[in-house]
Amino acid sequence: MAPNCLNMKFLASLISSFSVMAASLMSQAESPNFVVVYMDDLGWADSSVPMIEGQANTRSDFYQTPGLERLAREGMVLSDAYSPAPVCTPSRNAMLHGMTPARMLNATLNTKRSFEEYRGKITIPQALKQANPNYITAHFGKWHIPAVSPVKAGYDVTENDKGTGNGEGDFLDDMKTFLPEEDPKRIFSLTDMTKEFIAEQVEAERPFFVQLSHYSVHIWHDSLKETREKYRALPRPSKAMDSDYLPEDEISESAYKHNWLINYAAMVDDTDRAFIDLLDHLDALGISENTYVIFTSDNGGGLRGNRPLSGAKGDLTEGGIRVPFIVRGPGVPKGEYCSVPTAGWDLLPTFYELAGGREALPEELDGVSIAEAFTRGDAAEIDRPGDALIFHFPWYNGEPESAIRRGEFKLLKNLDTKQAALYRLEDDLSELHDLSGSYPEVAASMEKQMTDYLDSVGAEDVNELRAGFLKNIEGPWLVGAQERAGKQRAAAASGDASAMKQLAETEKYIKWLKQEAIFTRGRMALSEEIK
């Protein structure tokens, strides 16, 4: 009987093992997919979707985005969503790693850290693979994180192993030839890449994560001619100028690229049209019910203002960091709004939880899972240390600021003047009324909480950054420009018209460098004096 007993035990053990494997495979097969559509510099109210329910002034009365309207009907709008920073690089890096730019010492466009220092820091692709090793991850479009390449960040598929900057959104691979007219800002080709990747994973029955990072609507602006003609024919919006309605052949190249409202509107529309194509693709593949789709932006923007928000890209006012955020997916209620404050660094732990991750993530992460907000909206209980979002932007040639959002209040502090202002965003989105005198205890508490956090992570000092900026100005930048001017001056002396034009541009650049050096030294002295 002993052998039979052993055989029975072995058989039971084998059945148990197969059951565990089957359960694991079933769990993996049911793992959700993730599609993140990441715009570049899209303002909070630069779509036809109200960012706050029932408030018409939080949507555009000119730009038409039926794709985003569809996503909002089928999902949820997060009204109080923030980018990690008011400019591209630190925002993208923070989202990738689930940490604030302050902690990463990457609070501005430049970073003090090399990839070696980021090695071992978990990223979104790595977190998903930790939750389920079957995940396949991809990134298409703008990267703009010099310290880390897409491949080393853990992406399985990417169009460029080294990553891309802004130029790839305007030029072909030679970085000289402009993109074809039928594919402005690579809007449509990037969408096609994304669709192809998704189809391959569906056929292979693998869960996937893909981030489609559009180059639009970052300058240089571009769009389809047919879309521009559509907007020229629409009723004139309040922010339009007479120059917007000049014949197209009279629009200057500079205006076309930077400040032509019709071109900007058309670019937003073209991107939305591609987004509709992507949503239709998910429906056709039959995976919409098991796929989270998130649409957001890397920082604030807005052509000719960002009303009703104050400020825009490059500062920590609401216009610089509050961004559109719409999510659709399993368990997300349709057509609802959520006012729970969130930031881009929350996405990593959120995706990890939704993917079934159970092991603890690194304690150094600043992000927390907002998965409950996706399903319960304002009723969600988000366990965030200190119940605050903290931003740090020690901009060395602009206004250096830090900010903290806690509950209904936001405190904004100038790092040069040391002046802080307190706003209650619920009834003052435009940040017009400083309440620090009315709520001194709240202001003091929030400033201390912000300062304590920044001190704890060794956040970058503005004058330290200015010193590095000044070193570049007076070193390689100025020396290189002066050497270039010398060669151009010699060619110009022979009557070369092209050399004369180049020399004028170089001399203009040299003048700017010298002025910037004077300005930077002045700001450093002022900041030290006030300190």
Residue boundaries of the structural domains of the chain? 33-381, 389-456, 462-530
- Bridge partner residues of 423 (DSSP): 410
Confidence of residue 304 (pLDDT cuts 50, 70, 90): confident
Residue (of 27, 56, 48) closest to 269 by Cα position:
48
| Residue 30 confidence (pLDDT) | 79
Q: What is the mean pLDDT of residues 384-389?
A: 94
The CATH classification number of 389-456 equals 3.30.1120.10
3 state DSSP class of 302: coil
**CA dist., res. 155 & res. 384, Å (int):** 28
Q: What is the mean pLDDT of residues 447-470?
A: 93
* pLDDT above 70 as % of the chain: 92
Higher-confidence position of 352 and 16: 352
Specify whether the CB–CB gap between 139 and 211 falls below 8 A. yes
Q: Write out the two tokens for 209.
A: 């994560």
| Residue 26 confidence (pLDDT) | 36
Q: Distances in Å between the alpha carbon of 65 and those of 60, 156, 195, 267, 319? A: 10, 31, 20, 11, 20
Confidence of residue 177 (pLDDT cuts 50, 70, 90): confident
* pTM for this model (two decimals): 0.90
- DSSP state letters, 352-399: HHHTT--SPPPTT------HHHHHHGGG-----GGGEEEEEE--TTS-
Q: What is the mean pLDDT of residues 18-30?
A: 43
Q: What is the pLDDT of residues 351-380, one digit of tens each?
A: 999 999 999 999 999 999 999 999 999 999
| Residue 3 confidence (pLDDT) | 46
Please give the CATH topology (third level) of the domain spanning 33-381. Answer: Alkaline Phosphatase, subunit A (3.40.720)
Q: What is the mean pLDDT of residues 442-458?
A: 97
Q: What are phi and psi of 272, to 5 degrees?
A: -65, -40
| Residue 366 confidence (pLDDT) | 97
3 state DSSP class of 456: helix
Q: What is the mean pLDDT of residues 224-228?
A: 97
**CA dist., res. 161 & res. 163, Å (int):** 6
**CA dist., res. 77 & res. 324, Å (int):** 8
Q: Which of 16-30, 61-75, 308-322, 370-384 is the least confident region?
A: 16-30
**CA dist., res. 474 & res. 517, Å (int):** 7
Q: Which of 118-127, 397-406, 424-433 is the least confident region?
A: 118-127
Confidence of residue 227 (pLDDT cuts 50, 70, 90): very high
**CA dist., res. 512 & res. 419, Å (int):** 29
Is pLDDT at 175 greater than 50 in this prediction?
Answer: yes
For residue 367, count other CB atoms closer than 10 A to its CB. 24
Residue (of 453, 417, 394, 327) closest to 86 by Cα position:
394
* pLDDT above 90 as % of the chain: 79
